[in-house]
Amino acid sequence: MPLSEEKQKILDTIVDFDNQIDQMHVQFHKYHTQETKIRPDWARLESKLRGFSRKKIFDIQISGQLDRVLYKFQNRKKIWLSWTE
């Protein structure tokens, strides 16, 4: 069963957030190992995620994907903050 355009757009956005989290993890690792002196802006990504997560998603599978990405962000955020201490 094909996804509607709206559902596909939401799913694409969730996948994009997942990729952004992975990219930010790489950037934080470079910051932690002092390959770069620029600290990544995790707060901006968190703000975007929070704003997006407030949308009503009625598809349980897509909602589950969003929950997975939000959980992944929170776990990575703990790692990032421990690296900056």
pLDDT in tens, 20-74: 999 999 999 999 999 999 999 999 999 999 999 998 888 899 999 999 999 999 9
Residue 2 pLDDT: 61
Mean pLDDT for the stretch of residues 4-25: 95
d(CA 71, CA 68): 5
Q: What is the pTM of this model?
A: 0.90
Q: Which of 59, 70, 68 is nearest to 9 (CA)?
A: 59
Q: Is the pLDDT of residue 85 over 90?
A: no
Q: Is the pLDDT of residue 1 over 90?
A: no
Is residue 80 very low, low, confident or very high in pLDDT (cuts 50, 70, 90)? very high
Q: Which residue's structure tokens are 């932690």?
A: 32
